[in-house]
Structure 1
Amino acid sequence: MEAVEVAGLRIAYQRVGQGPPLVLFHGAGDDSRSWRQQLEGLSDDFTVFAWDAPGCGQSDDPAPDLSAGELGAITAGFLRAAVPAKPHLLGLSWGSLVVLELYRGYPEIPASLILASAYAGWAGSLPPEEAERRYARVLAEIDQPPETIINAWLPTLFTNKADPAVVAEATRIMADVRPAGMRALLSASGRADYRPVLPTIAIPTLLLYGADDQRSPLNVAHELHRQIPGSKLEVIPDVGHLAPMEAPDAFNTEVRTFLHGIAAA
Protein backbone atom coordinates (compact mmCIF):
# COMPACT_ATOMS: atom_id res chain seq x y z
CA MET A 1 0.00 0.00 0.00
CA GLU A 2 1.05 3.56 -0.73
CA ALA A 3 -0.46 6.66 0.88
CA VAL A 4 -0.86 10.41 0.48
CA GLU A 5 -2.08 13.02 2.95
CA VAL A 6 -5.18 14.95 1.97
CA ALA A 7 -6.97 17.44 4.23
CA GLY A 8 -5.12 16.02 7.21
CA LEU A 9 -6.13 12.44 6.43
CA ARG A 10 -3.90 9.57 5.38
CA ILE A 11 -5.45 8.08 2.24
CA ALA A 12 -4.06 4.66 1.37
CA TYR A 13 -4.13 3.09 -2.08
CA GLN A 14 -2.80 0.31 -4.26
CA ARG A 15 -1.06 0.99 -7.58
CA VAL A 16 -0.02 -1.55 -10.22
CA GLY A 17 0.80 -1.63 -13.92
CA GLN A 18 1.80 0.90 -16.53
CA GLY A 19 -0.23 2.90 -19.02
CA PRO A 20 -3.06 5.42 -18.85
CA PRO A 21 -4.28 5.91 -15.27
CA LEU A 22 -7.46 4.11 -14.21
CA VAL A 23 -8.70 4.82 -10.68
CA LEU A 24 -11.08 2.42 -8.89
CA PHE A 25 -13.50 3.55 -6.16
CA HIS A 26 -14.97 0.69 -4.12
CA GLY A 27 -18.44 0.34 -2.63
CA ALA A 28 -19.59 0.92 0.95
CA GLY A 29 -18.40 -1.68 3.43
CA ASP A 30 -15.46 -2.58 1.18
CA ASP A 31 -11.94 -1.37 0.57
CA SER A 32 -9.35 -1.62 -2.20
CA ARG A 33 -9.00 -5.38 -1.72
CA SER A 34 -12.35 -5.87 -3.46
CA TRP A 35 -10.64 -4.84 -6.72
CA ARG A 36 -8.07 -7.66 -6.62
CA GLN A 37 -9.16 -9.13 -9.94
CA GLN A 38 -9.12 -5.73 -11.66
CA LEU A 39 -5.70 -4.84 -10.25
CA GLU A 40 -4.47 -8.15 -11.64
CA GLY A 41 -6.49 -8.21 -14.85
CA LEU A 42 -6.19 -4.64 -16.14
CA SER A 43 -2.64 -3.74 -15.13
CA ASP A 44 -1.20 -4.96 -18.43
CA ASP A 45 -2.81 -2.01 -20.23
CA PHE A 46 -3.31 0.61 -17.50
CA THR A 47 -1.75 2.02 -14.36
CA VAL A 48 -4.50 0.90 -12.00
CA PHE A 49 -5.07 2.75 -8.73
CA ALA A 50 -7.50 1.53 -6.06
CA TRP A 51 -8.02 3.74 -3.03
CA ASP A 52 -9.21 2.96 0.44
CA ALA A 53 -11.93 5.58 0.92
CA PRO A 54 -11.75 7.75 4.04
CA GLY A 55 -12.84 5.53 6.93
CA CYS A 56 -12.09 2.30 5.05
CA GLY A 57 -9.18 -0.11 4.84
CA GLN A 58 -5.91 1.54 5.79
CA SER A 59 -7.15 5.13 5.36
CA ASP A 60 -7.87 7.43 8.30
CA ASP A 61 -11.37 8.01 9.62
CA PRO A 62 -12.85 11.39 8.64
CA ALA A 63 -15.18 13.44 10.84
CA PRO A 64 -18.52 11.65 11.42
CA ASP A 65 -20.43 14.57 9.89
CA LEU A 66 -18.48 14.42 6.61
CA SER A 67 -20.35 16.31 3.89
CA ALA A 68 -20.66 15.45 0.21
CA GLY A 69 -18.62 18.51 -0.71
CA GLU A 70 -15.86 17.54 1.72
CA LEU A 71 -15.79 14.03 0.26
CA GLY A 72 -15.50 15.51 -3.23
CA ALA A 73 -12.64 17.75 -2.13
CA ILE A 74 -10.80 14.82 -0.53
CA THR A 75 -11.27 12.80 -3.72
CA ALA A 76 -9.95 15.64 -5.88
CA GLY A 77 -7.01 16.09 -3.52
CA PHE A 78 -6.21 12.39 -3.67
CA LEU A 79 -6.27 12.36 -7.47
CA ARG A 80 -4.03 15.43 -7.70
CA ALA A 81 -1.56 14.00 -5.19
CA ALA A 82 -1.40 10.36 -6.30
CA VAL A 83 -2.46 10.09 -9.93
CA PRO A 84 -0.66 11.57 -12.96
CA ALA A 85 -2.39 13.09 -15.98
CA LYS A 86 -6.15 12.93 -16.56
CA PRO A 87 -7.41 9.64 -15.12
CA HIS A 88 -10.25 7.39 -16.10
CA LEU A 89 -12.50 6.93 -13.04
CA LEU A 90 -14.44 3.75 -12.21
CA GLY A 91 -16.90 3.82 -9.31
CA LEU A 92 -18.77 0.76 -8.05
CA SER A 93 -22.08 1.22 -6.20
CA TRP A 94 -21.32 3.80 -3.47
CA GLY A 95 -18.08 4.48 -5.34
CA SER A 96 -20.18 5.76 -8.24
CA LEU A 97 -21.46 8.50 -5.89
CA VAL A 98 -17.85 9.45 -5.15
CA VAL A 99 -17.25 9.76 -8.89
CA LEU A 100 -20.40 11.84 -9.44
CA GLU A 101 -19.55 14.14 -6.53
CA LEU A 102 -16.05 14.55 -7.93
CA TYR A 103 -17.45 15.39 -11.35
CA ARG A 104 -19.97 17.83 -9.87
CA GLY A 105 -17.25 19.92 -8.28
CA TYR A 106 -14.22 19.18 -10.47
CA PRO A 107 -15.34 18.25 -14.00
CA GLU A 108 -11.93 19.14 -15.41
CA ILE A 109 -10.17 16.25 -13.61
CA PRO A 110 -11.42 12.99 -15.22
CA ALA A 111 -10.92 11.82 -18.79
CA SER A 112 -13.89 9.43 -18.65
CA LEU A 113 -16.31 7.83 -16.21
CA ILE A 114 -17.29 4.21 -15.66
CA LEU A 115 -20.29 3.89 -13.33
CA ALA A 116 -20.81 0.28 -12.27
CA SER A 117 -23.87 -0.94 -10.34
CA ALA A 118 -24.49 2.77 -9.97
CA TYR A 119 -27.16 5.07 -8.59
CA ALA A 120 -27.79 8.78 -8.89
CA GLY A 121 -27.84 8.44 -5.10
CA TRP A 122 -30.54 6.49 -3.32
CA ALA A 123 -32.70 9.61 -3.33
CA GLY A 124 -31.98 10.13 -7.02
CA SER A 125 -32.70 6.59 -8.21
CA LEU A 126 -35.14 4.93 -5.81
CA PRO A 127 -38.69 5.67 -4.62
CA PRO A 128 -38.61 7.98 -1.58
CA GLU A 129 -39.81 5.29 0.81
CA GLU A 130 -37.13 2.83 -0.34
CA ALA A 131 -34.38 5.45 -0.16
CA GLU A 132 -35.39 6.32 3.39
CA ARG A 133 -35.67 2.65 4.35
CA ARG A 134 -32.11 1.99 3.19
CA TYR A 135 -30.81 5.06 5.03
CA ALA A 136 -32.52 4.04 8.27
CA ARG A 137 -31.37 0.44 7.93
CA VAL A 138 -27.70 1.34 7.48
CA LEU A 139 -27.89 3.84 10.34
CA ALA A 140 -29.29 1.11 12.59
CA GLU A 141 -26.67 -1.42 11.47
CA ILE A 142 -23.57 0.74 11.94
CA ASP A 143 -22.85 -0.30 15.53
CA GLN A 144 -23.92 -3.91 15.17
CA PRO A 145 -21.36 -6.74 14.92
CA PRO A 146 -19.97 -7.09 11.37
CA GLU A 147 -21.39 -10.59 10.98
CA THR A 148 -24.90 -9.19 11.43
CA ILE A 149 -24.40 -6.74 8.57
CA ILE A 150 -22.68 -9.32 6.39
CA ASN A 151 -25.47 -11.87 6.77
CA ALA A 152 -28.05 -9.23 5.87
CA TRP A 153 -26.21 -7.82 2.87
CA LEU A 154 -24.57 -10.79 1.15
CA PRO A 155 -27.75 -12.20 -0.43
CA THR A 156 -28.28 -8.86 -2.22
CA LEU A 157 -24.71 -8.59 -3.51
CA PHE A 158 -24.25 -11.86 -5.46
CA THR A 159 -26.38 -14.30 -7.39
CA ASN A 160 -26.68 -17.86 -6.15
CA LYS A 161 -24.32 -18.85 -9.00
CA ALA A 162 -21.39 -16.91 -7.54
CA ASP A 163 -18.19 -18.81 -6.73
CA PRO A 164 -18.25 -19.59 -2.98
CA ALA A 165 -14.57 -18.61 -2.78
CA VAL A 166 -15.42 -15.13 -4.09
CA VAL A 167 -18.28 -14.79 -1.62
CA ALA A 168 -15.90 -15.82 1.16
CA GLU A 169 -13.39 -13.21 -0.02
CA ALA A 170 -16.07 -10.50 0.10
CA THR A 171 -17.07 -11.68 3.56
CA ARG A 172 -13.52 -11.29 4.86
CA ILE A 173 -13.29 -7.76 3.48
CA MET A 174 -16.66 -6.72 4.90
CA ALA A 175 -15.70 -8.11 8.32
CA ASP A 176 -13.17 -5.27 8.62
CA VAL A 177 -15.74 -2.47 8.21
CA ARG A 178 -15.37 0.28 10.80
CA PRO A 179 -18.43 1.98 12.35
CA ALA A 180 -16.73 5.39 12.24
CA GLY A 181 -16.09 5.04 8.54
CA MET A 182 -19.61 3.89 7.73
CA ARG A 183 -21.09 6.74 9.77
CA ALA A 184 -19.04 9.30 7.83
CA LEU A 185 -19.89 7.81 4.44
CA LEU A 186 -23.59 7.68 5.30
CA SER A 187 -23.40 11.33 6.37
CA ALA A 188 -21.82 12.31 3.06
CA SER A 189 -23.90 10.20 0.68
CA GLY A 190 -26.92 8.64 2.40
CA ARG A 191 -29.39 11.21 1.10
CA ALA A 192 -27.51 12.25 -2.04
CA ASP A 193 -29.40 13.03 -5.25
CA TYR A 194 -27.18 13.43 -8.31
CA ARG A 195 -29.92 13.72 -10.91
CA PRO A 196 -28.95 17.36 -11.60
CA VAL A 197 -25.37 16.25 -12.38
CA LEU A 198 -26.24 13.58 -14.95
CA PRO A 199 -27.20 15.85 -17.89
CA THR A 200 -24.04 17.93 -17.37
CA ILE A 201 -21.65 15.02 -17.96
CA ALA A 202 -19.70 15.87 -21.09
CA ILE A 203 -17.04 13.15 -21.18
CA PRO A 204 -17.26 9.50 -22.34
CA THR A 205 -19.28 7.49 -19.84
CA LEU A 206 -19.86 3.75 -19.55
CA LEU A 207 -22.68 2.34 -17.41
CA LEU A 208 -21.92 -1.25 -16.44
CA TYR A 209 -24.44 -3.47 -14.63
CA GLY A 210 -25.14 -7.05 -13.73
CA ALA A 211 -28.41 -8.27 -15.21
CA ASP A 212 -29.50 -9.75 -11.86
CA ASP A 213 -28.48 -6.84 -9.62
CA GLN A 214 -30.97 -6.63 -6.75
CA ARG A 215 -29.60 -3.38 -5.29
CA SER A 216 -29.20 -1.33 -8.49
CA PRO A 217 -31.78 -2.92 -10.80
CA LEU A 218 -31.81 -2.36 -14.52
CA ASN A 219 -34.53 0.29 -14.39
CA VAL A 220 -31.97 2.43 -12.52
CA ALA A 221 -29.39 1.67 -15.24
CA HIS A 222 -31.75 2.69 -18.03
CA GLU A 223 -32.65 5.94 -16.30
CA LEU A 224 -28.99 6.92 -15.89
CA HIS A 225 -28.43 5.97 -19.53
CA ARG A 226 -31.31 8.25 -20.54
CA GLN A 227 -30.03 11.16 -18.47
CA ILE A 228 -26.29 11.07 -19.30
CA PRO A 229 -25.67 12.41 -22.83
CA GLY A 230 -23.92 9.95 -25.12
CA SER A 231 -23.48 7.34 -22.41
CA LYS A 232 -23.03 3.66 -23.23
CA LEU A 233 -24.86 0.95 -21.29
CA GLU A 234 -23.54 -2.61 -21.04
CA VAL A 235 -25.24 -5.41 -19.07
CA ILE A 236 -23.42 -8.56 -17.97
CA PRO A 237 -25.79 -11.58 -17.95
CA ASP A 238 -26.43 -13.68 -14.84
CA VAL A 239 -24.44 -11.40 -12.51
CA GLY A 240 -25.36 -9.47 -9.38
CA HIS A 241 -24.38 -6.20 -7.70
CA LEU A 242 -20.68 -6.97 -7.14
CA ALA A 243 -20.05 -7.71 -10.80
CA PRO A 244 -16.27 -7.05 -10.67
CA MET A 245 -15.90 -9.85 -8.14
CA GLU A 246 -18.54 -12.25 -9.46
CA ALA A 247 -17.66 -11.99 -13.16
CA PRO A 248 -14.19 -10.39 -13.35
CA ASP A 249 -13.32 -11.54 -16.86
CA ALA A 250 -16.52 -10.16 -18.40
CA PHE A 251 -16.28 -6.98 -16.30
CA ASN A 252 -12.65 -6.37 -17.24
CA THR A 253 -13.39 -6.99 -20.90
CA GLU A 254 -16.10 -4.32 -20.92
CA VAL A 255 -13.81 -1.83 -19.16
CA ARG A 256 -10.90 -2.55 -21.50
CA THR A 257 -13.07 -2.33 -24.64
CA PHE A 258 -14.55 1.00 -23.54
CA LEU A 259 -11.20 2.60 -22.69
CA HIS A 260 -9.51 1.31 -25.83
CA GLY A 261 -12.39 2.77 -27.83
CA ILE A 262 -11.78 6.18 -26.26
CA ALA A 263 -8.09 5.98 -27.07
CA ALA A 264 -8.82 5.09 -30.70
CA ALA A 265 -11.41 7.83 -31.20
Structure 2
Amino acid sequence: MNHFQVPTKLGRIDVRSVGDGPPAVLWHSMFVDSGAWDRVVPGLAAHRRLFLVDAPWCGESDKSAEPADIAACVDAALAVIARIREMTGSAAVDWVGNAWGGHVGMHLAAVEPALVNTLVAMSAPTGPIDRDLRRRIRLLLPIYRVIGARGPVWSAMATTLFTDHTRRDDPEAIDMLRRSVRVSGRSMIPAIRTAILHRTDLTWAAEAISCPVLFVTTDDRGEWTPDEARAVARTMHDAREVTVRGARVIPAVEQPAQTVDAVLAFWKASERQSPPPRAIAENI
Protein backbone atom coordinates (compact mmCIF):
# COMPACT_ATOMS: atom_id res chain seq x y z
CA MET A 1 0.00 0.00 0.00
CA ASN A 2 1.37 3.41 -1.01
CA HIS A 3 0.77 6.77 0.68
CA PHE A 4 0.90 10.18 -0.89
CA GLN A 5 -0.41 13.66 -0.07
CA VAL A 6 -2.10 16.21 -2.29
CA PRO A 7 -2.06 19.96 -1.53
CA THR A 8 -5.51 21.56 -1.64
CA LYS A 9 -7.20 24.71 -0.37
CA LEU A 10 -8.37 22.66 2.64
CA GLY A 11 -4.85 21.54 3.45
CA ARG A 12 -2.85 18.50 2.41
CA ILE A 13 -5.04 15.46 1.78
CA ASP A 14 -3.59 12.06 2.67
CA VAL A 15 -4.34 9.22 0.24
CA ARG A 16 -3.59 5.48 0.42
CA SER A 17 -3.40 3.45 -2.79
CA VAL A 18 -3.90 -0.32 -3.08
CA GLY A 19 -5.06 -2.79 -5.72
CA ASP A 20 -5.04 -3.17 -9.47
CA GLY A 21 -7.27 -1.99 -12.27
CA PRO A 22 -9.05 1.27 -13.16
CA PRO A 23 -8.88 3.92 -10.43
CA ALA A 24 -11.62 4.23 -7.81
CA VAL A 25 -11.67 6.99 -5.18
CA LEU A 26 -13.18 6.18 -1.77
CA TRP A 27 -14.21 9.08 0.53
CA HIS A 28 -15.51 8.14 3.98
CA SER A 29 -18.34 9.20 6.29
CA MET A 30 -18.35 11.74 9.09
CA PHE A 31 -16.61 10.86 12.42
CA VAL A 32 -14.27 8.28 10.84
CA ASP A 33 -11.35 8.27 8.38
CA SER A 34 -10.25 6.08 5.49
CA GLY A 35 -9.83 3.14 7.87
CA ALA A 36 -13.61 2.73 7.67
CA TRP A 37 -13.06 1.11 4.25
CA ASP A 38 -10.57 -1.51 5.44
CA ARG A 39 -13.08 -4.36 5.59
CA VAL A 40 -14.07 -3.93 1.93
CA VAL A 41 -10.58 -3.29 0.56
CA PRO A 42 -9.74 -6.98 -0.06
CA GLY A 43 -12.94 -7.51 -2.04
CA LEU A 44 -12.69 -4.35 -4.13
CA ALA A 45 -8.93 -4.09 -4.67
CA ALA A 46 -8.92 -7.13 -6.96
CA HIS A 47 -11.07 -5.15 -9.41
CA ARG A 48 -9.95 -1.54 -9.01
CA ARG A 49 -6.93 0.42 -7.90
CA LEU A 50 -8.37 1.99 -4.79
CA PHE A 51 -7.44 5.48 -3.64
CA LEU A 52 -8.54 5.79 0.00
CA VAL A 53 -8.90 9.43 0.99
CA ASP A 54 -8.59 10.87 4.48
CA ALA A 55 -11.01 13.77 4.15
CA PRO A 56 -9.97 17.26 5.35
CA TRP A 57 -9.47 17.44 9.15
CA CYS A 58 -9.54 13.63 9.40
CA GLY A 59 -6.96 10.87 9.76
CA GLU A 60 -3.55 11.84 8.42
CA SER A 61 -4.80 14.84 6.45
CA ASP A 62 -4.13 18.43 7.55
CA LYS A 63 -6.36 19.81 10.27
CA SER A 64 -5.83 23.56 10.08
CA ALA A 65 -8.44 24.70 7.52
CA GLU A 66 -11.49 26.68 8.52
CA PRO A 67 -14.95 25.08 8.13
CA ALA A 68 -16.11 25.05 4.53
CA ASP A 69 -18.87 23.38 2.50
CA ILE A 70 -19.39 20.52 0.06
CA ALA A 71 -18.34 22.69 -2.88
CA ALA A 72 -14.97 23.32 -1.20
CA CYS A 73 -14.61 19.58 -0.60
CA VAL A 74 -15.26 19.04 -4.31
CA ASP A 75 -12.39 21.42 -5.10
CA ALA A 76 -10.16 19.28 -2.87
CA ALA A 77 -11.43 16.14 -4.59
CA LEU A 78 -10.57 17.64 -7.97
CA ALA A 79 -6.98 18.12 -6.84
CA VAL A 80 -6.84 14.49 -5.72
CA ILE A 81 -8.30 13.28 -9.02
CA ALA A 82 -5.81 15.38 -10.98
CA ARG A 83 -2.97 13.60 -9.16
CA ILE A 84 -4.59 10.21 -9.77
CA ARG A 85 -4.93 10.97 -13.48
CA GLU A 86 -1.24 11.79 -13.61
CA MET A 87 -0.35 8.58 -11.79
CA THR A 88 -2.61 6.22 -13.74
CA GLY A 89 -3.14 7.83 -17.13
CA SER A 90 -6.89 7.38 -16.67
CA ALA A 91 -9.24 10.08 -17.87
CA ALA A 92 -11.80 9.52 -15.10
CA VAL A 93 -12.40 7.60 -11.88
CA ASP A 94 -15.09 5.54 -10.24
CA TRP A 95 -16.25 7.35 -7.09
CA VAL A 96 -17.37 5.54 -3.94
CA GLY A 97 -18.53 7.78 -1.11
CA ASN A 98 -20.20 7.13 2.23
CA ALA A 99 -22.50 9.88 3.59
CA TRP A 100 -20.09 12.88 3.44
CA GLY A 101 -18.24 11.15 0.61
CA GLY A 102 -21.50 10.45 -1.19
CA HIS A 103 -22.46 14.11 -1.05
CA VAL A 104 -19.07 15.15 -2.40
CA GLY A 105 -19.40 12.56 -5.15
CA MET A 106 -22.85 13.74 -6.21
CA HIS A 107 -21.76 17.36 -6.42
CA LEU A 108 -18.58 16.34 -8.25
CA ALA A 109 -20.36 14.16 -10.81
CA ALA A 110 -22.86 16.93 -11.49
CA VAL A 111 -20.31 19.69 -12.14
CA GLU A 112 -17.44 17.62 -13.64
CA PRO A 113 -19.15 14.77 -15.50
CA ALA A 114 -16.10 13.92 -17.61
CA LEU A 115 -14.12 12.97 -14.50
CA VAL A 116 -16.55 10.42 -12.99
CA ASN A 117 -17.24 7.11 -14.72
CA THR A 118 -19.61 5.76 -12.04
CA LEU A 119 -20.84 6.95 -8.66
CA VAL A 120 -21.65 4.88 -5.58
CA ALA A 121 -23.30 6.97 -2.86
CA MET A 122 -23.77 5.05 0.39
CA SER A 123 -26.15 6.33 3.06
CA ALA A 124 -26.13 9.76 1.42
CA PRO A 125 -29.47 11.63 1.51
CA THR A 126 -29.94 14.08 -1.34
CA GLY A 127 -31.96 16.49 0.82
CA PRO A 128 -30.62 19.02 3.33
CA ILE A 129 -30.07 18.16 6.98
CA ASP A 130 -33.35 18.22 8.90
CA ARG A 131 -34.01 20.86 11.52
CA ASP A 132 -34.04 18.53 14.53
CA LEU A 133 -30.69 16.95 13.67
CA ARG A 134 -29.16 20.38 13.07
CA ARG A 135 -30.38 21.52 16.51
CA ARG A 136 -28.97 18.45 18.28
CA ILE A 137 -25.57 18.80 16.64
CA ARG A 138 -25.35 22.48 17.51
CA LEU A 139 -26.07 21.63 21.13
CA LEU A 140 -23.36 18.93 21.20
CA LEU A 141 -20.56 20.89 19.51
CA PRO A 142 -19.76 23.15 22.51
CA ILE A 143 -19.65 20.05 24.72
CA TYR A 144 -17.33 18.34 22.23
CA ARG A 145 -15.03 21.37 22.28
CA VAL A 146 -14.73 21.16 26.08
CA ILE A 147 -14.62 17.42 26.84
CA GLY A 148 -13.79 15.83 23.48
CA ALA A 149 -15.34 12.58 22.26
CA ARG A 150 -16.56 11.39 25.66
CA GLY A 151 -19.83 11.02 27.50
CA PRO A 152 -22.84 12.28 25.51
CA VAL A 153 -20.64 13.19 22.53
CA TRP A 154 -19.26 9.67 22.18
CA SER A 155 -22.70 8.17 22.70
CA ALA A 156 -24.17 10.37 19.96
CA MET A 157 -21.41 9.43 17.49
CA ALA A 158 -21.62 5.69 18.10
CA THR A 159 -25.41 5.62 18.10
CA THR A 160 -25.59 7.68 14.92
CA LEU A 161 -23.21 5.44 12.98
CA PHE A 162 -23.83 1.91 14.25
CA THR A 163 -26.70 -0.42 14.98
CA ASP A 164 -27.32 -1.75 18.49
CA HIS A 165 -25.88 -5.09 17.38
CA THR A 166 -22.60 -3.56 16.19
CA ARG A 167 -22.17 -1.47 19.32
CA ARG A 168 -22.72 -4.57 21.44
CA ASP A 169 -20.96 -7.32 19.48
CA ASP A 170 -18.36 -5.77 17.17
CA PRO A 171 -15.49 -4.36 19.27
CA GLU A 172 -13.29 -3.98 16.20
CA ALA A 173 -15.76 -1.53 14.68
CA ILE A 174 -15.92 0.42 17.94
CA ASP A 175 -12.11 0.47 18.12
CA MET A 176 -11.99 1.86 14.58
CA LEU A 177 -14.32 4.70 15.56
CA ARG A 178 -12.39 5.43 18.76
CA ARG A 179 -9.10 5.54 16.84
CA SER A 180 -10.59 7.84 14.20
CA VAL A 181 -11.94 10.40 16.66
CA ARG A 182 -8.72 10.23 18.71
CA VAL A 183 -6.52 10.94 15.67
CA SER A 184 -8.75 13.75 14.43
CA GLY A 185 -9.31 15.22 17.89
CA ARG A 186 -11.18 18.50 18.07
CA SER A 187 -10.36 19.18 14.42
CA MET A 188 -13.43 17.02 13.86
CA ILE A 189 -15.48 20.14 14.71
CA PRO A 190 -14.80 21.98 11.42
CA ALA A 191 -15.43 18.68 9.62
CA ILE A 192 -18.82 18.40 11.32
CA ARG A 193 -19.68 21.96 10.39
CA THR A 194 -18.63 21.35 6.80
CA ALA A 195 -20.16 17.93 6.13
CA ILE A 196 -23.28 18.10 8.32
CA LEU A 197 -24.30 21.62 9.35
CA HIS A 198 -23.35 23.09 5.95
CA ARG A 199 -24.94 20.23 3.99
CA THR A 200 -27.35 21.59 1.42
CA ASP A 201 -30.03 20.17 -0.85
CA LEU A 202 -28.40 18.11 -3.62
CA THR A 203 -31.55 17.47 -5.62
CA TRP A 204 -30.14 19.69 -8.36
CA ALA A 205 -27.01 17.51 -8.50
CA ALA A 206 -28.98 14.26 -8.67
CA GLU A 207 -30.97 15.62 -11.60
CA ALA A 208 -27.80 16.73 -13.41
CA ILE A 209 -25.70 13.56 -13.02
CA SER A 210 -25.28 11.64 -16.27
CA CYS A 211 -23.05 8.74 -15.17
CA PRO A 212 -24.42 5.47 -13.73
CA VAL A 213 -25.29 5.89 -10.03
CA LEU A 214 -25.80 3.34 -7.26
CA PHE A 215 -27.52 4.47 -4.07
CA VAL A 216 -26.59 2.06 -1.28
CA THR A 217 -29.12 2.42 1.52
CA THR A 218 -29.49 0.52 4.78
CA ASP A 219 -32.46 -0.81 6.70
CA ASP A 220 -31.67 1.09 9.90
CA ARG A 221 -31.16 4.73 8.90
CA GLY A 222 -34.43 6.57 9.24
CA GLU A 223 -33.22 9.74 7.55
CA TRP A 224 -32.68 8.07 4.15
CA THR A 225 -34.87 5.06 3.54
CA PRO A 226 -34.69 2.68 0.56
CA ASP A 227 -38.05 4.01 -0.66
CA GLU A 228 -36.76 7.59 -0.57
CA ALA A 229 -33.63 6.64 -2.49
CA ARG A 230 -35.67 4.76 -5.10
CA ALA A 231 -37.91 7.79 -5.56
CA VAL A 232 -34.88 9.97 -6.25
CA ALA A 233 -33.38 7.33 -8.54
CA ARG A 234 -36.51 7.40 -10.69
CA THR A 235 -35.89 11.09 -11.42
CA MET A 236 -32.31 10.48 -12.55
CA HIS A 237 -30.72 9.62 -15.88
CA ASP A 238 -29.27 6.24 -14.82
CA ALA A 239 -29.66 5.28 -11.18
CA ARG A 240 -30.50 2.28 -9.05
CA GLU A 241 -30.80 1.45 -5.37
CA VAL A 242 -29.54 -1.48 -3.30
CA THR A 243 -30.50 -2.07 0.34
CA VAL A 244 -27.86 -3.48 2.69
CA ARG A 245 -29.46 -5.24 5.64
CA GLY A 246 -28.21 -4.98 9.21
CA ALA A 247 -26.44 -1.62 8.93
CA ARG A 248 -27.04 2.03 9.80
CA VAL A 249 -24.70 4.63 8.27
CA ILE A 250 -21.48 2.77 7.35
CA PRO A 251 -22.39 -0.48 5.57
CA ALA A 252 -18.74 -1.08 4.64
CA VAL A 253 -18.02 -1.57 8.36
CA GLU A 254 -21.18 -3.31 9.52
CA GLN A 255 -21.88 -5.48 6.47
CA PRO A 256 -18.73 -5.60 4.32
CA ALA A 257 -19.67 -8.71 2.32
CA GLN A 258 -23.04 -7.27 1.27
CA THR A 259 -21.37 -3.96 0.45
CA VAL A 260 -18.68 -5.54 -1.73
CA ASP A 261 -21.28 -7.62 -3.57
CA ALA A 262 -23.39 -4.53 -4.27
CA VAL A 263 -20.50 -2.44 -5.56
CA LEU A 264 -19.00 -5.20 -7.72
CA ALA A 265 -22.38 -6.04 -9.26
CA PHE A 266 -22.92 -2.35 -10.04
CA TRP A 267 -19.49 -1.95 -11.63
CA LYS A 268 -20.03 -5.07 -13.72
CA ALA A 269 -23.49 -3.96 -14.85
CA SER A 270 -22.21 -0.48 -15.69
CA GLU A 271 -19.47 -1.92 -17.87
CA ARG A 272 -21.88 -3.94 -20.00
CA GLN A 273 -25.09 -1.91 -20.07
CA SER A 274 -26.19 -0.29 -23.30
CA PRO A 275 -28.41 1.63 -23.32
CA PRO A 276 -28.60 2.31 -19.54
CA PRO A 277 -31.88 1.95 -17.67
CA ARG A 278 -33.37 5.02 -15.98
CA ALA A 279 -33.76 3.40 -12.56
CA ILE A 280 -33.55 -0.04 -11.01
CA ALA A 281 -34.47 -1.06 -7.46
CA GLU A 282 -32.80 -4.08 -5.90
CA ASN A 283 -32.52 -5.73 -2.51
CA ILE A 284 -29.64 -7.80 -1.15
TM-score (norm 1): 0.88
Provide the residue aligned with 2:104 in structure 1.
98
Q: How does 1:210-225 map to 2 (within 5 A)?
A: 210-225=218-233
Where in structure 2 are there 5+ consecutive unaligned residues?
274-284
Provide the residue aligned with 1:11 in structure 2.
13
Provide the residue aligned with 1:171 in structure 2.
178
Q: Among the aligned pairs, what percent are the same residue?
A: 23
2:239 matches 1:237: no
Provide the residue aligned with 2:187 in structure 1.
180
What is the one-letter code of the residue matched to 1:157?
L
**Secondary structure of the corresponding residue to residue 114 of structure 2:** coil
Provide the residue aligned with 1:61 in structure 2.
63
How many residue pairs get aligned? The number is 261
User: Where do 4+ consecutive residues of structure 1 move more than 4 Å?
Assistant: none
Contact 1:65 1:188 in 2 (8 A): no
Q: How does 1:189-200 map to 2 (within 5 A)?
A: 190-191=197-198, 192-200=200-208
2:120 matches 1:114: yes
Contact 2:125 2:223 in 1 (8 A): no
Distance 1:90 1:195 in 2: 19
Greater alpha carbon shift after TM alignment, 76-85 vs 187-196:
187-196
What is the one-letter code of the residue matched to 2:213?
T
Describe the superposition over 1:119-155 as per-residue Cα deviations: whole angstroms up to 9, x where unpaired: 12534xx4xx235325524544541411232222212
2:152 matches 1:145: no
Describe the superposition over 1:150-187 as per-residue Cα deviations: whole angstroms up to 9, x where unpaired: 22221232223333332333333233333234315514
What is the one-letter code of the residue matched to 2:150?
E
Provide the residue aligned with 1:260 in structure 2.
268
Contact 1:91 1:98 in 2 (8 A): yes
What is the one-letter code of the residue matched to 2:220?
D
Distance 1:159 1:180 in 2: 26
Distance 1:116 1:99 in 2: 10
**Secondary structure of the corresponding residue to residue 122 of structure 1:** coil
Greater alpha carbon shift after TM alignment, 227-236 vs 177-186:
177-186
**Secondary structure of the corresponding residue to residue 217 of structure 2:** strand
Q: CA deviation at 1:87?
A: 0.7
Distance 2:83 2:132 in 1: 38
**Secondary structure of the corresponding residue to residue 161 of structure 1:** helix
Describe the superposition over 1:173-209 as per-residue Cα deviations: whole angstroms up to 9, x where unpaired: 2333332343155146523111111111111000111
Q: Evaluate the alpha carbon distance shift between residue 242 and residue 65 of structure 1 in structure 2; reply closer, same or farther with a 3 A threshold.
A: closer
Distance 1:53 1:88 in 2: 17
Q: Evaluate the alpha carbon distance shift between residue 62 and residue 119 of structure 1 in structure 2; reply closer, same or farther with a 3 A threshold.
A: farther
Distance 2:229 2:136 in 1: 19
Distance 2:139 2:100 in 1: 16
Describe the superposition over 1:74-105 as per-residue Cα deviations: whole angstroms up to 9, x where unpaired: 11111111343211101101111111222243
Provide the residue aligned with 1:39 in structure 2.
41
**Over aligned residues, Cα RMSD in angstroms?**
2.3
**Secondary structure of the corresponding residue to residue 180 of structure 2:** helix
Which residue of 157, 160, 164 corresponds with 1:160?
164
Describe the superposition over 1:216-262 as per-residue Cα deviations: whole angstroms up to 9, x where unpaired: 33354234323333211000122222111011011001101110111
**Secondary structure of the corresponding residue to residue 29 of structure 2:** coil
Contact 1:89 1:110 in 2 (8 A): yes
Contact 1:122 1:190 in 2 (8 A): no
Provide the residue aligned with 2:79 in structure 1.
77
Contact 2:57 2:65 in 1 (8 A): no
What is the one-letter code of the residue matched to 1:146?
A
TM-score (norm 2): 0.83
Distance 2:114 2:140 in 1: 33
Distance 1:9 1:169 in 2: 24
What is the one-letter code of the residue matched to 1:182?
I
